[in-house]
A and B are shown apart, each in its own frame.
Chain A
């Protein structure tokens, strides 16, 4: 049975989207570059649980997130610094700063593991948001696949002004942004691809201006300048 089941939705879902979202959850269950399949699924579960975190709620209400200290509500065996990263990305990404990122890395999360974590969290946000948006429950997560991480890291990266090295090649910074771990980039853009004009012959039922208006409004709500 597919992890994603859009058959009960009151709204139509294109096959391409169904296949992409299903492939995303299946891929998350596989061993990644720096996390195991079980770890990657734990990252998704932690991202799903993050909205009820009391510390995150206090941070979000504060003028400066750094002014609030404490321990996140968490239910996984992931390292605490991974929980900090997941909750920050899931709950208050618009206020993440270079200093926050530096702290996360200084406290022991390798850059490559961070990149993969970002890819997993953001991919799950795409799939989970869509499922709930069309009126369904969160998709059931697949069972983790056995196997060890590959420790993949690309050397074909450059400093493009981001906190992390970006892929050397690419037409837009966002497309290069997860280039340090190519499989993380592939995971995210596999999930995202049907949501925008990245694929050949996109066939949205709404017009280009309407697509851009929705995209821009979401960026504004999330306080993202990009």
Chain B
């Protein structure tokens, strides 16, 4: 959700379909295709792919830039587990502001009603 906000502020909206894999390309983000591939490989712990992308990053993006991208991916590999393991809800402000966005990108599918349904509910 923050991607949309940050990219809109920049005046060049990101193509959010690259996030969910619905489209290829940079998504209007510099080195977007590379970053999407690196993020996915890190999140899936596909270390052979990460090694190849790391080398690509050194050549095309820069060492510190590649390291930072891996750092962000690593952090979100942890925080998504926290969010999913405690069943938190989307903040109301974000939820209200992103109804169409979540539906359009398919993100709603990651939050089916059964995620919060108890046996008594």
- Seen from chain A, the residues whose Cβ lies within 8 Å of a Cβ on chain B are 9-13, 17, 51, 85, 88-90, 93-94, 96-99, 101-102, 115, 118-119, 121-123, 125-127, 129-130, 132-135, 160-164, 166, 172-174, 177-178, 188, 191-192, 194-196, 204-226
Establish whether residues A217 and B89, one from each chain, have CB atoms under 8 Å apart when the complex forms.
Answer: no
Chain A residues with CB under 8 Å of B81's CB are: 89-90, 93, 118, 121-122, 125, 222
Residues from chain B with Cβ under 8 Å of A196 in the complex:
72, 75-76, 79
Contact between B69 and A102 (Cβ–Cβ < 8 Å)? no
Tell me which residues across on chain B come within 8 A of A205, comparing CB atoms: 62, 64-65, 67-68
Question: Is the pair A174, B88 in contact by a Cβ cutoff of 8 Å?
Answer: yes
Q: How many residues of B contact A (CB 8 A)?
A: 74
A130 and B74 within 8 A (CB): yes
Which listed residue, A98, A101, A160, A192, touches B75 by the CB 8 Å rule? A192
Chain B interface mostly? helix
Assuming the contacts A205-B62, A215-B2, asked whether A130 and B70 have C-beta atoms less than 8 A apart, the reply is yes
- Nearest 7 pairs of A and B residues by beta carbon: A195-B75, A163-B87, A126-B78, A212-B3, A225-B111, A224-B80, A130-B74
Could you tell me if B63 and A11 are in contact, using CB atoms closer than 8 angstroms? yes
7 example contacts (A-B, Cβ-Cβ < 8 A) are as follows A94-B84, A122-B82, A129-B42, A164-B86, A206-B35, A210-B29, A225-B110
